[in-house]
Amino acid sequence: MDNLFRLKDLSVKEINDILDLANKCKDGTYDNYLKDKIIANCFFEPSTRTQYSFNTAQLRLGMKVISFNSDNSSLKKGESFYDTIKTFESFNIDGIVIRDRKDHYYEELKNIHIPILNAGDGASDHPTQSLLDLLTIRNEFGHFEGLNIAIVGDIKYSRVAHSNIEIMERLGMNCYVSGPEEYREEGYKFIDFDKAIEQMDIIMLLRVQHERHEQKMQLSLEEYHRDYGLTMERVNRMKDNAIIMHPAPFNRMVEIADDVVECDKSRIFKQIENGVLVRMAVILKTIGGM
């Protein structure tokens, strides 16, 4: 694998291979496997989980890591995104992790010849988030085929929703969306939230991404919580073996109640744990040539 831009570029077999390798990374087999390699993490948009779980994965692999700080860089002197990335390539490093607010930013990086790992582009794709979601689901249920998932919330502005629905449908899952009308998108199957609660195997909540909106949300935060928030009363109506997921960061008492965050059905922190494993796996597949 030369780069990781989006899961659409990978076959179902390639995706399952990455998940298999991620599970193998658990026992330390690949710790220090890439100890001679240098990687840069270039985040042009804020991040906690993706940035630092890539960083943790790189440290587990024994890599040497450069953390780019965009606020203290020559971007402030007018240097372009392309020239910044070209500069890192010229350091003769082995790979680069990039997050940017622009959709498909990698299309302007065709002249960069080191592996690029996409850590999220605009509202389009978040391939490593989807991989960690898939690992969490496969490890929980043992398969994908026939599972029902509802992704609830700000679908329109969510790279997680867009990335996940494409690959989950390819893997045989039944994907539905739910949430406020203002954040719905044509082309997806809609389900009423309270129906979804009772029928789905997986409820995946999303944060309202105010930073990507031009207009203020029509609902107040209290109204959002009342109509679309996952409360314990709703959790108690879910199927016995159903689970709750969220890419995080989450807003307590908006899309999720405080006491639901770490309840028995929640896999939110398991997703974060799995994030390190899938990021080790994609680095091994690209920079490690596995």
Task: Give the interface with ligand CP as residue ranges (CB under 6 A).
Answer: 47-51, 120, 129, 247-249
Structure tokens at 36: 């001679």
Exposure string for 24-50, b = 16+ CB within 10 A, e = fewer: ebeeeebeebbeebbbbbbbbbebebb
Q: Are 163 and 7 in contact (CB under 8 A)?
A: yes
- CB nearer to ligand CP: give 69 or 90: 69
Q: Are 33 and 62 in contact (CB under 8 A)?
A: yes
Angle between helices 268-286 and 49-60 (to 10 degrees): 50
CA pair distance 234, 274, nearest whole angstrom: 26
Q: How far is the CB of 240 from ligand CP (least distance, A)?
A: 28
CA pair distance 120, 209, nearest whole angstrom: 14
Q: How far is the CB of 101 from ligand CP (least distance, A)?
A: 12
Q: How far is the CB of 48 from ligand CP (least distance, A)?
A: 4
- CB nearer to ligand CP: give 137 or 191: 137
- CB nearer to ligand CP: give 16 or 47: 47
- CB nearer to ligand CP: give 129 or 191: 129
- CB nearer to ligand CP: give 85 or 248: 248
Q: How far is the CB of 269 from ligand CP (least distance, A)?
A: 12
Of 275, 276, 283, 272, which is closest to residue 64 (Cα–Cα)? 283
Q: How far is the CB of 273 from ligand CP (least distance, A)?
A: 13
